[in-house]
């Protein structure tokens, strides 16, 4: 057999390599930075980052093509009663918005309703002043979650907050995580401050289970925009303790109670609770954090490459400045559009009592659209929802 004299190249042209790499998750890109000097600077390469962002957003849109938007909001003129709408597209007009009826337990108590985390298999977790309800808007089926018991010593009162809602993919079971904190004047006379009690609810057993002290979970942080679910794991923004306020992403595995924390100190968002905001969301199947500062009027989108790895936070987008406004993200749409409330600086000190205008920010064109709607700032939510006719308990 005649030998061939031509050489086979053992390198890939940069344009082809960039095209391949731009389709990989952040975790893989972080690992491949050690291959060569060119790849080490991928996140500083404008051409590559443009390709990467375009691929990321197109995948996000493709993944959510069959989704609808849910819009939960309240208004001062309705005494802050919550209303929820299903949007057939992304237009906020009478033709596209269909008002839904809350499940019967909320017909007489429709204030301060929040949707926890994500829509999972068409099921929503509603938190209210009177309790927690699982609800499928498509079938109108609902399940009132029992209150359960919280065993604090006598004379203690408790404040209970729901931290997360998710689906255990190993046991095919919906689960809810809550935290009970001791409150009241009796604490002043106690030698030792009681530790919070963590409990997890199982829909299959219809009961709450108290987690042992060996399961150490950082304190949760208030706000419906700080909880997401992905592949059997619930994620929320928390602090390591009530004293040091070191901010972390808490990741709780529903199948084995494993807890992993990822520091947030790389996100340039210290003090966001006072001078800006943080919004936890999902972007193309990855954990993402939107951070904003009212001082420089900029907001950023960070993607987490690997849970538990501080350095895997990667800033993919920076937008702004937005002129002379305060803003707070309330959701992400099918195309990755960012929805937010917006108000003037003169309302800084009474923002919680105001109805704020709603806007949409188009990531691709970087244009801001006034939706012609308003709502109470911390009661507005927009989330993706895939309709399902499955019963809440699933199919055995």
Residue 92 contacts residue 372 (beta carbons within 8 Å): yes
DSSP string, 41-99: TGGG-HHHHHHHHHHHHHHHHHHTTT-EEEEEEE-GGGTTBEEEEEESSS--STTTEEE
Burial class (CB in 10 A: 0-12, 13-18, 19+), 13: exposed
Q: Is the peptide bond before 321 cis (omega within 30 degrees of 0)?
A: yes
Dmax over CA atoms of the chain, in Å, equals 94
Q: How far apart are CA 139 and CA 152, in angstroms?
A: 38
pLDDT for the residue numbered 304? 92
Name the pTM for this structure: 0.85
Q: How far apart are CA 177 and CA 211, in angstroms?
A: 10
Residue 96 contacts residue 87 (beta carbons within 8 Å): yes
DSSP string, 135-200: EETTTTEEEEEP-----PPTT-EEEEEEEEEEEETTTTEEEEEEEEEEESGGGGG-SSPPPPEEEE
pLDDT in tens, the chain (396 residues): 445 555 545 567 777 888 888 888 888 888 887 778 777 788 888 888 888 888 888 888 888 888 889 999 876 656 668 889 998 777 788 788 899 999 998 877 777 888 988 899 999 999 988 889 999 999 999 999 999 888 776 667 778 888 899 999 999 999 999 988 877 655 555 556 677 889 999 999 999 999 887 677 776 655 445 789 999 999 998 877 655 567 889 999 999 999 999 988 766 655 444 456 788 899 888 899 988 877 777 888 899 999 999 888 988 888 877 765 567 788 898 888 888 887 644 443 344 456 678 888 888 787 888 888 877 656 788 999 999 998 887 655
Residue 234 host element (H or E): strand 233-239
pLDDT for the residue numbered 349? 35
Residue range(s) of every CATH 2.120.10.30 domain in the chain: 58-385
- Token pair 């990989």: residue: 24
Residue 143 contacts residue 203 (beta carbons within 8 Å): yes
Residue 114 contacts residue 224 (beta carbons within 8 Å): yes
pLDDT for the residue numbered 274? 47
Q: 293-307: buried (b, 16+ CB within 10 Å) or exposed (e) per residue? A: bbeebbbbbbbbbbb
Q: How far apart are CA 378 and CA 37, in angstroms?
A: 46
Domain covering 58-385, topology: Neuraminidase (2.120.10)
CA angle centred on 39, ends 337 and 18, rounded to 5° = 55
- Token pair 């079971």: residue: 173
pLDDT for the residue numbered 144? 94
Own/partner contacts of 249-252, CB < 8 Å, gap of 24 or more, are 249/280, 249/287, 249/289, 249/304, 249/307, 250/217, 250/218, 250/220, 251/307, 251/308, 252/164, 252/166, 252/177, 252/217
pLDDT for the residue numbered 223? 46
């Amino acid at each position: 057999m005649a030998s061939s004299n031509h050489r086979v190249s053992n390198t890939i042209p940069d344009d082809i390599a960039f095209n391949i790499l731009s389709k990989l998750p952040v975790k893989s890109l972080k690992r491949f930075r050690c291959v060569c000097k060119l790849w080490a600077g991928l996140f500083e390469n404008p051409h590559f980052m443009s390709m990467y962002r375009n691929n990321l957003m197109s995948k996000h849109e493709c993944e959510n093509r069959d989704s609808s938007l849910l819009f939960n909001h309240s208004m001062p003129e309705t005494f802050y009663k919550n209303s929820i709408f299903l949007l057939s597209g992304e237009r906020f007009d009478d033709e596209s918005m269909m008002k839904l009826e809350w499940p019967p337990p909320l017909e007489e108590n429709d204030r301060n309703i929040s949707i926890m985390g994500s829509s999972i298999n068409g099921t929503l977790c509603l938190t209210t002043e009177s309790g927690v309800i699982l609800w499928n808007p498509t079938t109108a089926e609902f399940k009132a979650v029992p209150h359960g018991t919280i065993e604090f010593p006598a004379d203690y009162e408790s404040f209970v907050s729901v931290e997360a809602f998710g689906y255990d993919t190993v046991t095919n079971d919906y689960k809810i995580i809550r935290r009970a904190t001791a409150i009241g004047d009796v604490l002043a006379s106690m030698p030792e401050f009681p530790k919070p009690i963590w409990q997890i609810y199982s829909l299959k057993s219809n009961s709450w289970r108290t987690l042992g002290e060996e399961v150490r979970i950082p304190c949760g942080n208030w706000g419906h925009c700080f909880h997401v679910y992905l592949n059997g794991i619930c994620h929320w923004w928390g602090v390591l303790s009530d004293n040091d306020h070191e901010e972390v992403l808490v990741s709780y595995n529903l199948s084995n109670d494993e807890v992993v924390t990822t520091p947030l100190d790389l996100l340039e968002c210290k003090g966001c609770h006072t001078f800006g905001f943080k919004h936890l969301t999902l972007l193309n199947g990855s954990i993402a954090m939107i951070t904003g500062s009212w001082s420089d009027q900029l907001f950023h989108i960070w993607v987490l490459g690997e849970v538990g790895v501080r350095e895997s936070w990667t800033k993919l987008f920076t937008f702004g400045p937005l002129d002379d406004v305060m803003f707070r993200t309330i959701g992400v749409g099918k195309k990755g559009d960012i929805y937010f409330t917006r108000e003037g600086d003169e309302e800084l000190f009474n923002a919680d009592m105001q109805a704020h205008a709603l806007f949409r920010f188009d990531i691709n064109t970087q244009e801001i659209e006034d939706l012609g709607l308003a709502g109470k700032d911390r009661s507005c939510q927009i989330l993706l929802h895939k309709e399902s006719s499955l019963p809440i308990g699933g199919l055995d």
